[in-house]
Amino acid sequence: MKKQIVKNKRKTKKPNIIVLSGYGLNCEEETKFAFELAGGVAQIVHINDLVVKPTLLDTCDILAFPGGFSFGDDTGSGKAFANKIRNHLSLELHEFLSRDTLCIGICNGFQILTNLGILSGALTHNSGGRYIDRWVDLKVTGKSPWLKGIKNISLPIAHGEGKYIVDTKTYKNLKKSNQVAFVYEKGPICKFQNLDLNPNGAMYNIAGVLSKNGRVLGMMPHPERNIFFHQSPLWQKEKEILKRKGKSTAKLSNLNGDSLKIFKNAIEYFTK
Amino acid sequence: MISRLYILPKIKDSREKIYMASWRALGIKGKVSSVQILDSYTIDSDLEDADLQKIGRLFSNPNIEEFFLNELPSKIKFKNAIEIGFLPGVTDNIGNTALETLYDFFQVDKNTNWKVYTSKIFLIKGSLTKIDLEKIVFSLHNPLIESSAIINNGSLSIKVPKVILETKELVKKVSLKVSDEELEKIGKEGILDENGRRGPLALDLDSMKVIQKYFFELGRDPTDIEIESLAQTWSEHCKHTIFANPIDEITDGLYRTYIKGSTKIIRQKKGKEDFCVSVFSDNSGAIDFDDEYLITHKVETHNSPSALDPFGGAITGIGGVNRDAIGFGKGAKPIANTFGFCVGNPNDTRSLYKGKNKTQKMLPTKRILDGVVKGINVGGNCSGIPTVSGFIKYEDRYRGKPLVFAGTIGIIPKKINGKNSYEKEAQVDDYVVMVGGRVGADGIHGATFSSVTMDSNSPATAVQIGDPITQKKLSDALVKEARDMDLYNSITDNGAGGLSCSVAEMAKECGGAEVHIEKIPLKYEGLTPWEIWISESQERMTLAVPKKKWEVFKKLMDSRGVEATIIGEFNNSGKCIVYNNDKKIMDISMDFLHDGLPEKDLKTTYIQKIYKEPQLPKNSNRTKLFEKLVGELNIGSFAYISEQYDHEVQSSSVLKPISGEGRINTDAQVLKPLLNSKKGAVVSSSLYPFYGDISTYDMSACAIDTAIRNIICAGGDLNTLALLDNFCWCSSNEEFRLGQLKDAVKACYDYSIGYNTPFISGKDSMFNDFKGYDENENSIKISIPPTLLISAISVTNDISKTISPEFKEAGDCIYLLGDTDQELGASEYYRMLANEAKDIELIGNNVPKVDWKKNSLIYNLVQSAISKELLSSAISIHSGGLAIALAKSCVGGMIGAKISLKDFYGNAVSPDEKIFSESQGRILVSIDPKKAKIFEKHFSNISCKKIGNVSKDKKVVVLETNNKKFIDTDIVKLKKAYHRFSNTQ
């Protein structure tokens, strides 16, 4: 029996979010936390449980492929996990994306989405040949519900295979249809620690891309790691400035970081 | 049928440049014009070509890769190629994932006997001789675990690394009715097989005689599995005999008297304030985090395997200690990793050999360093555990045997399903369940191997490779699901000694166990029972699962891709019994197994060696020396390591391993493990192996003091601070080394009690000696300097109070807290001068002493100053003294400073003493000048001296008492020196 495809997004006060887990994905807890902090209801679902019960996607508004090391990057980052989805959930995922839903792939999740062909391009070994954890500055260049009202943002990256590869033709199309979500740029963090703007040799400095309809976002940087003020490399300096202005630092531990906005945008897509 | 898939990159492969660069150092500069890297999958299956084509699509991303079945396309022409694969039986993680992908794609049963083996093929263009290619091969692989093939006729051939074990006698009776000489030989070199001795049991004659007597009284010969099992359980690695045995007048032994003893006293003294929950009894130690949670910590060493296979050694080191968190109580979730490496000088090109006539060549230090760095990289990053804290020490005496430390911090709710999570007990009739990876020949004799000196008899099978994803699946399934569903009564790690130790250990909880060896799942056929029983194959836990919960447990594990197998039952028979099919092959009483090991009285002697005092340079300008010191290996940055370890996963990062504009390495790190709580954990570590040459007592004292001080400077709390010890010693059968040990442990007692900071866990590794031959074929013994790593952990109530070490604003006042004394013995400054003078004896004798009463006062005041937000930066003064603390504060903030050496507290007189002395208990802080008055009042009862100001001009200036410039440099130079080594790695 063919399921009915709902075309319009669900209007709800509390959107349902599924954060996938299993086989070495490892950022599911903090990604869930970020969505909940932004006002959603998130549950972590093991990929094998979704295979057994794909109807879970029927009531899901936002699907997140979190960061991690699915299958240890063996056979190429994101490949083995993508194969698993292709073998078992191809149709269901297609149906989910056909509805007016949102989807995000972060880091390893982005690698999975490109391997699935849901997002254009591919990700491969960093030019430096090494895994790297540092912060980057991003300029928002795409159009998407995820990115509403954000112009620039600084986030951490942590990956070995984050170099974005795309052919010229596809790139032109991506650019034309506002599907390049972010590009690396020289911003406050690069200036602060004297770092190269592009950490991995990504073509055209691309850090994230969107699906044609803007509802699927894939990005190498980790938005769930900048949900608190104290996570930025600049926070000690900024705290000192606050102190000298005579401002209270009592609530600093709960002060939110810039990227909560990305998660809030996703929630507000359904609530507003 | 054997088929092969080649995966070729369609785009420029980033890896090519890196390999080419690494080959430049091999003396073949300019000879390689290009290299192309192919990934190869050799598939042993009954699949047809059409299906294999489908697999090609699974293993390649069409945007960036193409694949070829069995043959390379004609467009690819090459003459020379190198293929690197795995030796039979070595864990091939990519091969395993590929196989799992095949099973899933074709929906076939996992017992289908397909295999996938991976290898890398380097097609190399250029004018290369055979010797050139051999040099490249040596740089690309480790012959202990990997195979290599040089192809110089332009065509590839396929070798399948399938494990084929010869049929062996399953269970052997070992007669102990032999001469003492033979008995000793069995203990030292192993049971005699058709093919010679099996490898070290590390049992001395006394132990062998006790075993002989036990079986004589039973009226039978022991089986090989019984002897091997006893050797594992009684190994130094497992029983810590040197710490347990009576030593001189200390009849209860060092461990019970000094380590456990001090913790007991501290806990009593603390009374209601006692924050220890589980100490020394479990896989990790645990303290209170808040009302609902405990945090655990454990630090392990993995030295011997890392010398042979640095990558495998380090990755299994980190994986193993992760299981110490997972195996704590009912299972703690790992929340942070720590690491530490002690290695030789990476520029050292001298060769070492284990065997005579230049055989069994050891890996060069640079390879060891790169390998261990990568091991922690893969192990930590793949597991989703932030690697937050670490260090490296370089010293010549670590070149024979490097030290690899790996630690894991965990978190666990205090109560799970209404029961205390930190208590566990296998119950009679519970199933013995093995969960995780399968058993192979890897890691056989690991525990006994690490209990002896490394020489030409060291077994190659002792090396293992980790599989972090198998462990991640296991960890998630247990700690995030099965634990909270109350599906098991007890759990422990399979580490040293494998099942022989884990089952025997858990059997203590109920009084016995029975195991059926034939039920244990194997990686391949052909292993004998004793091998299965003691194998240290990784990623396995042993659980006690109640019978009525087995079905649910098994179903859960299946659904998470985790293998779980019933291998026996727990009972209260008082015995540990092993069957192979229906035949009883091991039957030893629990009492004998655990307590049969004979006590040995240890004796020590200690002679204080006197070193020469160095001549200080005559001129009074120290700028050049200061800049040089900043760039010394043991002082400079290791940012290149910190930033290749994911230290931000779990979103808990507060104070990172790298801080400030100039990216300095921090001495303590802060994390916030519960995302909805403002509480944090502060971690640090310290070691002073060089002080040990002068006094191991002071070495211990300084390590404890520094580990504590590092934590205090970041905002930690002295009242909730716990310590961990890791003793890495050498030649522990020599009285002098035992004398050094006794002193070191005594200091642990004195200072933990002094600071009221209990030890909660520890580990030792007592024989870090290398015996072999140098490049002139002279026999050589290299012993590491006695090394004590102190790790510390503390809980802070509000992470927003955290302070980073770098200076923040121009104009801020700089204060020195504590006394600066004439304590330059074995300091970084003296060691640098001794190196320049090419006389390693010129290290002086005035090693720093620690006054815990004075320092406690300082630390308490700093703690309250931080909570009142009085400080802008705080840095602990340790190796390199005030000079280095100042340099790091400036480089971190990329801002200058001007200080004066006038009127210091303490007995230091000369400017060298003031700036380079490593006196303990000192902290360099900077403050907003507006707070100067209240700050000075706050510290009015201790030595607190304003020494200068942070300056805008980027200059770093140190003035002598007469206002003459003693040091005059700038932060650009210092930053360059500080990062020089790291930036070239």
Single out the residue of B196, B177, B179, B197 nearest to residue B188, CA to CA.
Answer: B197
Tens of pLDDT along B263-277?
A: 999 999 999 999 999
Neighbours of B131 (CB within 10 A): 10
CB-based contact B105:B40 (threshold 8 Å): no
Q: Which among A22, A163, A249 is the nearest to B800, CB-wise?
A: A249
The answer to whether B91 contacts chain A (CB < 8 Å) is no
| Rounded Cα distance, B546 and B551, in Å | 10
Lowest-confidence region among A118-127, A223-232, A246-255, B877-886: A246-255
Mean pLDDT across A128-156 = 96
pLDDT of residue B129: 86
A42-51 burial, b if ≥16 CB within 10 A, otherwise e? bebbbbbbbb
How many folded domains does chain B comprise? 2
Q: Which two tokens stand for residue B734?
A: 């020599």
| pLDDT > 60? residue A5 | no
C-alpha B221: how far from chain center: 40
User: Does A131 contact B105 at a Cβ distance shorter than 8 Å?
Assistant: no
| A27 has catalytic annotation | no
Window 169-188 of A, Cβ < 8 Å to B: none
Using CA coordinates, name the residue in chain B closest to A191.
B661
Q: Is B943 inside a domain boundary? A: yes
End residue of a domain, out of B133, B151, B169: B151
pLDDT of residue A146: 97
Strands B80-86 and B192-193 turn out to be unpaired
| Rounded Cα distance, B664 and B181, in Å | 58
Q: ipTM of the assembly?
A: 0.95
3-state secondary structure of B247: strand
Mutate to test the interface with A, among B54, B91, B651, B889 (most CBs of A within 10 A): B651
Q: Is A146 inside a domain boundary? A: yes
Tens of pLDDT along B74-133?
A: 888 888 899 999 888 788 889 989 998 999 999 888 778 899 999 999 998 888 888 888
Angle, helices B93-106 vs A79-98, to 10°: value is 40
Closest Cα of chain A to B977: distance in Å? 16
User: Does A74 contact B93 at a Cβ distance shorter than 8 Å?
Assistant: yes
Single out the residue of A68, A77, A72 nearest to residue A44, CA to CA.
Answer: A68
Neighbours of B873 (CB within 10 A): 26
| Rounded Cα distance, B629 and B978, in Å | 9
User: Does A68 contact B384 at a Cβ distance shorter than 8 Å?
Assistant: yes
Closest Cα of chain A to B377: distance in Å? 8
The answer to whether B799 contacts chain A (CB < 8 Å) is yes
Question: Is the pTM value of this prediction over 0.80?
Answer: yes
How many folded domains does chain A comprise? 1
Using CA coordinates, name the residue in chain A closest to B19.
A129
User: Does A72 contact B377 at a Cβ distance shorter than 8 Å?
Assistant: no
Q: Is A198 inside a domain boundary? A: yes
User: Does A124 contact B659 at a Cβ distance shorter than 8 Å?
Assistant: no
Residues 6+ positions from A250 with CB-CB distance below 8 Å: B800
Mutate to test the interface with B, among A236, A237, A243, A248 (most CBs of B within 10 A): A236
Phi, psi angles (nearest 5°) of residue A155:
-145, 160
* Length of chain A as a residue count: 272
| Rounded Cα distance, B323 and B537, in Å | 13
pLDDT of residue B451: 55
3-state secondary structure of B871: coil
Q: Is A9 inside a domain boundary? A: no
Which sign, positive or negative, has the C-alpha torsion B146, B152, B156, B159?
A: negative
| A224 has catalytic annotation | yes
CB-based contact A78:A108 (threshold 8 Å): yes
Q: Is A110 inside a domain boundary? A: yes
Q: Is A2 inside a domain boundary? A: no
Q: Given the structure tokens 């390649």, which residue do they identify?
A: B60
User: Does B14 contact A126 at a Cβ distance shorter than 8 Å?
Assistant: yes
Task: Point out which residues pair with A44 in neighbouring strands.
Answer: A19
* Length of chain B as a residue count: 985
User: Does B802 contact A230 at a Cβ distance shorter than 8 Å?
Assistant: yes
Between vectors from CA B930 to CA B800 and to CA B855, what angle results, nearest 5°?
A: 60
Q: Residue A13 class from Cβ within 10 Å (0-12 exposed, 13-18 middle, 19+ buried)?
A: exposed
CB-CB neighbors (< 8 A) of B559 in chain A: 46, 48-49, 52
Neighbours of B952 (CB within 10 A): 11
| pLDDT > 60? residue A204 | yes
Window 676-735 of B, Cβ < 8 Å to A: 676, 678
Q: Which among B63, B645, B663 is the nearest to A133, CB-wise?
A: B645
CB-CB neighbors (< 8 A) of A228 in chain B: 651, 672
CB-CB neighbors (< 8 A) of A74 in chain B: 93-94, 96-98, 469
CB-based contact B136:B28 (threshold 8 Å): yes
Window 378-397 of B, Cβ < 8 Å to A: 378, 381-384
Q: Is A36 inside a domain boundary? A: yes
CB-based contact B440:B537 (threshold 8 Å): yes
Tens of pLDDT along B302-359?
A: 887 788 888 888 998 999 999 999 999 999 999 999 999 999 999 998 999 988 988 8
Q: Which among A74, A125, A250 is the nearest to B14, CB-wise?
A: A125
The answer to whether B101 contacts chain A (CB < 8 Å) is yes
| Catalytic site residue from A60, A103, A107, A190 | A107
Single out the residue of B514, B512, B516 nearest to residue B529, CA to CA.
Answer: B516
Q: Which two tokens stand for residue A50?
A: 């979704």
Single out the residue of B350, B352, B469, B444 nearest to residue B400, CA to CA.
Answer: B352
Using CA coordinates, name the residue in chain A closest to B16.
A129
pLDDT of residue B139: 83
Domain containing residue A185: CATH number:
3.40.50.880
Domain that holds residue A216: 16-271
CB-CB neighbors (< 8 A) of B653 in chain A: 225, 230-231
The answer to whether A196 contacts chain B (CB < 8 Å) is no
Using CA coordinates, name the residue in chain B closest to A159.
B646
Residues 6+ positions from B739 with CB-CB distance below 8 Å: B604, B605, B606, B607
Domain that holds residue B962: 803-985
User: Does A230 contact B672 at a Cβ distance shorter than 8 Å?
Assistant: yes
Q: How confident is the model at residue B445 (pLDDT cuts 50, 70, 90)?
A: low
Single out the residue of B821, B917, B847, B783 nearest to residue B611, CA to CA.
Answer: B847
The answer to whether A35 contacts chain B (CB < 8 Å) is no
Mean pLDDT across B570-581 = 94
Q: Is B980 inside a domain boundary? A: yes
Residue B593: enclosing H or E segment and its boundaries? helix B590-595
Mean pLDDT across B129-142 = 85
CB-CB neighbors (< 8 A) of B373 in chain A: none
Q: Which among A30, A67, A74 is the nearest to B97, CB-wise?
A: A74
Domain containing residue B119: CATH number:
3.30.1280.10
Single out the residue of B220, B25, B18 nearest to residue B135, CA to CA.
Answer: B25
Q: Is A22 inside a domain boundary? A: yes
Q: Which among A72, A160, A230 is the nearest to B97, CB-wise?
A: A72
Using CA coordinates, name the residue in chain A closest to B714.
A236
Mind spelling out the 3-state secondary structure of B399-415?
A: CCCCEEEEEEEEEEECE
The answer to whether B333 contacts chain A (CB < 8 Å) is no
Closest Cα of chain B to A61: distance in Å? 24
End residue of a domain, out of B112, B136, B151: B151
| pLDDT > 90? residue B515 | yes
| pLDDT > 90? residue B623 | yes
Q: Is B131 inside a domain boundary? A: yes
Q: Which of B53-67, B201-215, B446-460, B694-708 has the highest mean pLDDT?
A: B694-708
| pLDDT > 50? residue A2 | no
Closest Cα of chain A to B258: distance in Å? 40
Q: How confident is the model at residue B465 (pLDDT cuts 50, 70, 90)?
A: confident
Mean pLDDT across B763-767 = 92
User: Does A122 contact B64 at a Cβ distance shorter than 8 Å?
Assistant: yes
DSSP state of B20: H
| A222 has catalytic annotation | yes
A-B C-beta contacts closer than 8 Å: 196
Q: Which two tokens stand for residue B58?
A: 């699974």
Q: Which among B14, B61, B100 is the nearest to A76, CB-wise?
A: B61
Q: Which two tokens stand for residue B216?
A: 């004589």
CB-based contact B816:B586 (threshold 8 Å): no
| Rounded Cα distance, B792 and B299, in Å | 10
Residue B49: enclosing H or E segment and its boundaries? helix B49-58
| pLDDT > 80? residue B165 | no
Mean pLDDT across B693-710 = 97
| pLDDT > 70? residue B166 | no
Strands B415-416 and B285-288 turn out to be unpaired
B393-405 burial, b if ≥16 CB within 10 A, otherwise e? bbbebbbbbbbbb
CB-CB neighbors (< 8 A) of A33 in chain B: 651, 675-676
Q: Is A168 inside a domain boundary? A: yes
DSSP state of B157: -
Q: Which among A79, A134, A253 is the nearest to B643, CB-wise?
A: A134
The answer to whether B768 contacts chain A (CB < 8 Å) is no
> Alpha helices, DSSP H only, in B645-734?
696-714
Greater pLDDT, B163 or B914: B914
| Rounded Cα distance, B483 and B141, in Å | 41
CB-based contact B754:B647 (threshold 8 Å): no
End residue of a domain, out of B125, B151, B177: B151
Window 111-150 of A, Cβ < 8 Å to B: 114-115, 121-122, 124-134
Mean pLDDT across B172-186 = 90
Strands B873-876 and B923-927 turn out to be antiparallel
Neighbours of B940 (CB within 10 A): 9
- Give one word for B290, left, alpha or beta, with left for phi > 0 and alpha for psi -120 to 50: beta
User: Does A224 contact B651 at a Cβ distance shorter than 8 Å?
Assistant: yes
Using CA coordinates, name the residue in chain B closest to A112.
B61
Lowest-confidence region among B15-24, B31-40, B932-941: B15-24
Q: How confident is the model at residue A3 (pLDDT cuts 50, 70, 90)?
A: very low
